[in-house]
A and B are shown apart, each in its own frame.
Chain A
Amino acid sequence: MEDCLAKKMEITVSEAEKRTGRNAMNMQETYTAYLIETRAVESQNEGQCSPVDSLWRRYSEFELLRNYLLVTYPHIVVPPLPEKRADFVWHKLSADNMDPDFVERRRIGLENFLLRVASHPVLCQDKIFYSFLTQEGGWKEMVNETGFQLKADSRLKALNATFRVKNPDKRFTELKHYSDELQSVISHLLRVRARVADRLYGVYKVHGNYGRVFSEWSAIEKEMGDGLQSAGHHMDVYAASIDDILEEEEHYADQLKEYLFYAEALRAVCRKHELMQYDLEMAAQDLTSKKQQCEELATGTMRTFSLKGMTSKLFGQETPEQREAKIKVLEEQIQEGEEQLKSKNLEGRDFVKSAWADIERFKEQKNHDLKEALISYAVMQISMCKKGIQVWTNAKECFSKM
């Protein structure tokens, strides 16, 4: 098994920079560009470091890359991009795309995306991906030249349109259901988490008022004064501590968001399979009806009603020559159809095999990552509790000296 790109190459999105330029309609726009740095990983024996290559890319180019991957590898659960616009924000966090904190978290998200692709056994071998990382000029043209947009099935965009599949693959139906539920539950979780963060912020910040009033009170006290004053200081520390705590929690939220979007990617694979199955069934149906038509013409019986048949009955039979011609056309179509059906079946089986392999890989990755995320969340909570105990213990000591 060939080593994936991530093992051979160090990839980072190291910087973000505000740029102004002209868009397609020649209007001035502001956007953020991200610096992608790559460096070949040296074997451990060599002392020298290989040089760093770098190029700038903006978010829309990342989107283009991802769309290309989605179309080119429909059986792969393609890693998601970080959100385009800030969502699930609690009040202090800015929803502004230009906000430095948002840009910073996006930088991390984009780096994560590239690392995910680079460590994927199939995706990492893609040439367009490699060029994205290494070739600054002409990359867009290269992608468009692949003509992937033409391959894209527009039906995939109609997310909620239903296609009546007669023999659905149970595994894929269940998986699609799972991805819907997963999206729903993670969205809910992120929304409530944002509200929880908001409220917690309020609790901590109000404690800051104790600092001021203890200080004012200490001014009129003799023996109690020092204790009150220093306790007040600890209340200020407590109030200030929430900012870092919640900033750290945003990383947890980002980890959840990644899997919210991953759920979408999972759903896309199921959808693709559904469409393939539908197309297959349609093709089979079409073939069957053509065979029937052929049979009818050959035997002169009409088992199925057709307007043509009726008109020919009313207005006189066809000539034998005409009938022969028709049969010939149909027979050609039938042969074509059978070949197509064969290849579609093969395609379908291949798709299921490779999709399912990637889905298993994805499941393992998801279970591992989410477990890690939960652990880091618990660690954050533990740290917050310890800080709380520390501050209140310090305050208690000050009070004891009153």
Chain B
Amino acid sequence: SFPKQDLSLPNGTPVDTSSPASSSSLLNRLQLDDDLDGETRDLFVTVDDPKKHVCTMETYITYRVTTKTTRAEFDLPEYSVRRRYQDFDWLRNKLEESQPTHLIPPLPEKFVVKGVVDRFSEEFVETRRKALDKFLKRITDHPVLSFNEHFNVFLTAKDLNAYKKQGMALLSKMGESVKYVTGGYKLRSRPLEFAAIGEYLDTFSLKLGTIDRIAQRIIKEQLEYLVELREYGPVYSTWGGLEVELSEPLEGVSACIGNCCTALEELSEDMTEDFLPVLREYILYSESMKNVLKKRDQVQAEYEAKLEAVALKKEDRPKVPTDVEKCQDRVECFNADLKADMERWQNNKRQDFRQLLMGMADKNIQYYEKCLTAWESIIPLLQDKPETK
């Protein structure tokens, strides 16, 4: 049997224990994993339909967030709300605060250099939409995060801003710091398995950074190649204008090169819009994960410090070391949550990269297939014998 555990979240907030997912016990987590592994999905979230809003103070984009669910935590089976980027940002911050032992998915970058990137261009908005959709889907797939109340409100509230203000007011009343900070405890040494995770993340983000640079370089080279091709094709056409018998073949070659230009343009666009953003997402993911590791270190450090302090006061009657026990719980919960999340993350990462890289290969195959079709189609044109004069 399990010892009675203090089923409060590490930041001290009391929790409704009727919902199985609110408990941070390992057993419950495993059960939930089993459920979500299969087909018993009961929550579906989509981000689509970006719309531009022009107001006196500012111009911004909102996205439609659609929810379909059979979960008891939701009053209705369907919801449709409009959210803007800063709402997503708010949600992420809230999740980090309220679920500090879990890995929170990353958001696409907040700031874009004005003038360099057009924040309202179709490509930019679409790239962002995909990233925001992925963000919510990752939360939806998470057995703990998907039950978070802030997430619920985000998906359902008509007026999110009212809720946001309410939250702020409540906290200032309570006078409690929102951030989960354990105060300057320093960990002597990270346990092996978490050190390994840390090292892995370091190398992983390093390699992704390299791949990002290579991909950017390739796109750059492709665009420069495209510039030359755009001059090359028309010269054949000019030549065709000089000739009589060779006119058609030369025009054919010119048109063919033109088709290859279009195909190349499409390839570069695809890589820019689909490939690079996902790489960057994972780099951000790694960064936030490393921060979670650090938080875990702090929790452990606090526990070890308090434990040491108790050990030094052995002669006193044994204090009910609820404080130390609480710390121990926190460490164990954190470690369990983190390990579970890491496993889930590794699995998702593998699938994401498998899909991403297969997609990259696919796009290149399609590019070459388009060019192949173009060149094969002009062979008969080139071989065509004119009528003997």
A385 touches B375 (CB 8 A): yes
**Which residues of B have CB within 8 Å of A209?**
210, 214, 217
Given known A196-B225, A382-B375, A388-B368, contact A189–B217 (CB-CB < 8 A): no
CA distance A79 to B379 in the complex (A): 28
Residue B364 at the chain A interface, CB threshold 8 Å: yes
**Which residues of A have CB within 8 Å of B222?**
203
Total B residues in contact with A, Cβ cutoff 8 Å: 50
A203 touches B364 (CB 8 A): no
Residue B15 at the chain A interface, CB threshold 8 Å: no
Partner of B357, one of A202, A371, A375, A399: A399
Given known A389-B372, A400-B354, contact A371–B246 (CB-CB < 8 A): yes
Residue A193 at the chain B interface, CB threshold 8 Å: yes
B361 touches A395 (CB 8 A): yes
Partner of B239, one of A185, A379, A388: A185
Residue A52 at the chain B interface, CB threshold 8 Å: no
A-B contact pairs, 22 of them (CB 8 A): A182-B239, A192-B232, A196-B225, A202-B221, A209-B214, A213-B207, A213-B211, A213-B214, A217-B203, A220-B200, A220-B207, A370-B246, A375-B383, A377-B253, A378-B256, A378-B375, A381-B371, A381-B375, A382-B375, A386-B368, A395-B361, A400-B354
CA distance A192 to B225 in the complex (A): 11
B321 to chain A minimum Cβ distance, whole angstroms, is 40
Residue A199 at the chain B interface, CB threshold 8 Å: yes
**Which residues of A have CB within 8 Å of B32?**
none
Given known A196-B232, A206-B217, contact A396–B350 (CB-CB < 8 A): no
A202 touches B224 (CB 8 A): yes
B378 touches A378 (CB 8 A): yes
Instruction: Tell me which residues from 335 to 376 in chain A have a Cβ below 8 Å from any Cβ of chain B.
Output: 367, 370-371, 374-375
**Which residues of B have CB within 8 Å of A196?**
225, 228-229, 232
**Which residues of A have CB within 8 Å of B350?**
223-224, 402
Instruction: Tell me which residues from 339 to 389 in chain B have a Cβ below 8 Å from any Cβ of chain A.
Output: 350, 353-354, 357-358, 361-362, 364-365, 367-369, 371-372, 375-376, 378-379, 382-383
Residue A181 at the chain B interface, CB threshold 8 Å: yes
A385 touches B368 (CB 8 A): yes
A341 to chain B minimum Cβ distance, whole angstroms, is 37
CA distance A326 to B357 in the complex (A): 99
**Which residues of A have CB within 8 Å of B383?**
371, 375
Residue B35 at the chain A interface, CB threshold 8 Å: no
Residues of B at under 8 Å CB distance from A?
A: 200, 203-204, 207, 210-211, 214, 217-218, 221-222, 224-225, 227-229, 231-232, 235-236, 238-239, 242-243, 245-246, 249-250, 253, 256, 350, 353-354, 357-358, 361-362, 364-365, 367-369, 371-372, 375-376, 378-379, 382-383
Instruction: Tell me which residues from 8 to 31 in chain A have a Cβ below 8 Å from any Cβ of chain B.
Output: none
**Which residues of A have CB within 8 Å of B364?**
388, 392
Partner of B211, one of A210, A223, A388, A395: A210
**Which residues of B have CB within 8 Å of A182?**
239, 242
Closest to B239 in A: A185
Given known A192-B232, A203-B218, A402-B354, contact A392–B361 (CB-CB < 8 A): yes
**Which residues of A have CB within 8 Å of B361?**
392-393, 395-396, 399
Closest to B358 in A: A399
What total count of A-B pairs have CB within 8 Å? 135
B235 touches A188 (CB 8 A): yes
**Which residues of B have CB within 8 Å of A185?**
235, 238-239, 242
Closest to B385 in A: A371
Residue A328 at the chain B interface, CB threshold 8 Å: no
Task: Contacts A371-B383, A396-B361 known; list 16 others, CB within 8 Å.
Answer: A185-B242, A189-B235, A193-B232, A200-B225, A206-B214, A206-B221, A216-B207, A227-B354, A378-B256, A378-B379, A388-B365, A392-B362, A396-B358, A396-B362, A400-B354, A402-B354
A238 to chain B minimum Cβ distance, whole angstroms, is 9
Max count, chain B CB within 10 A of own CB: residue among A182, A196, A386: A196
CA distance A163 to B319 in the complex (A): 118
**Which residues of B have CB within 8 Å of A223?**
350
Given known A385-B368, A399-B354, A402-B353, contact A378–B382 (CB-CB < 8 A): yes
Partner of B246, one of A367, A396, A402: A367
Q: Mask for A156-185, Cβ within 8 A of B = 1, else 0?
A: 000000000000000000000010011001
Instruction: Tell me which residues from 199 to 258 in chain A have a Cβ below 8 Å from any Cβ of chain B.
Output: 199-200, 202-203, 206-207, 209-210, 213, 216-217, 220, 223-224, 227, 231
**4 closest Cβ pairs, A-B complex:** A396-B361, A199-B225, A385-B372, A388-B368
Residue A195 at the chain B interface, CB threshold 8 Å: yes
Closest to B350 in A: A224
Closest to B225 in A: A199
Max count, chain B CB within 10 A of own CB: residue among A192, A193, A386: A192
CA distance A220 to B224 in the complex (A): 35
A186 touches B239 (CB 8 A): yes
Closest to B199 in A: A220
B263 to chain A minimum Cβ distance, whole angstroms, is 10
A207 to chain B minimum Cβ distance, whole angstroms, is 7
CA distance A231 to B211 in the complex (A): 14
Partner of A203, one of B221, B238, B353, B357: B221
Max count, chain A CB within 10 A of own CB: residue among B211, B238, B375, B379: B375
Given known A185-B238, A185-B239, contact A220–B204 (CB-CB < 8 A): yes
Closest to B238 in A: A185
B169 to chain A minimum Cβ distance, whole angstroms, is 47
Partner of B365, one of A181, A216, A378, A396: A396
Closest to A385 in B: B372
**Which residues of A have CB within 8 Å of B256?**
378
B357 touches A402 (CB 8 A): yes
B363 to chain A minimum Cβ distance, whole angstroms, is 9
Partner of B245, one of A186, A199, A367: A367
Closest to B204 in A: A220
**Which residues of B have CB within 8 Å of A379?**
379
B249 to chain A minimum Cβ distance, whole angstroms, is 5
CA distance A196 to B200 in the complex (A): 41
B372 touches A386 (CB 8 A): yes
Partner of A389, one of B369, B375, B382: B369
**Which residues of B have CB within 8 Å of A395?**
357, 361
CA distance A258 to B222 in the complex (A): 30
A189 touches B225 (CB 8 A): no
B218 touches A374 (CB 8 A): no
**Which residues of B have CB within 8 Å of A210?**
211, 214
CA distance A207 to B235 in the complex (A): 29
CA distance A134 to B362 in the complex (A): 59
B210 touches A207 (CB 8 A): no
**Which residues of A have CB within 8 Å of B225?**
196, 199-200, 202-203
B331 to chain A minimum Cβ distance, whole angstroms, is 27
**Which residues of A have CB within 8 Å of B236?**
189
CA distance A188 to B231 in the complex (A): 10
B301 to chain A minimum Cβ distance, whole angstroms, is 27
